[in-house]
Amino acid sequence: MCGYVLFVNLCGCYCGLECETSCPLILQELNRINDPESWTPDNIDDLPFDFPDICIPGWHNTRLIRTHRVCSPRWWFNCPSVAIPSHPRG
């Protein structure tokens, strides 16, 4: 399963989602792109890559890492921890 990291500031705001490790399922799909047998005349216009459902980022496979960064006061009410009720730090 793929893992992701979310760096959370002191106020609860966070940056972009980072991929934590190499996921074997994603690597398998990337290798499939280089396989000549994956390219057929029927799908020559489509990239032979299927993002596995288990690798979709979510709270089940995302690790939160707290940082010591301080947020600007103008962000406080727009932070995901305040604006999104399902946020784990809300």
Amino acid 75: pLDDT: 62
- Domain extent, residue 19, equals 1-37+50-71
Give a yes or no: residue 79 inside a domain.
no
Give a yes or no: residue 15 inside a domain.
yes
Give a yes or no: residue 56 inside a domain.
yes
Residue 89 has phi, psi (to 5 degrees) of: -100, 10
Q: Percent of the chain having pLDDT more than 70?
A: 73
Give a yes or no: residue 83 inside a domain.
no
Q: Calculate ∠ Cα 7-58-23, nearest 5°.
A: 85
Please tell me the total count of domains within the chain: 1
Give a yes or no: residue 89 inside a domain.
no
H-assigned helices in the chain: 24-33, 80-83
Segment 38-74, tens digit of pLDDT: 888 887 888 888 888 888 888 888 888 888 877 766 6
Give a yes or no: residue 13 inside a domain.
yes
Amino acid 90: pLDDT: 47
Give a yes or no: residue 84 inside a domain.
no
The mean pLDDT of the chain is: 78
Amino acid 7: pLDDT: 85
Amino acid 83: pLDDT: 67
Give a yes or no: residue 82 inside a domain.
no
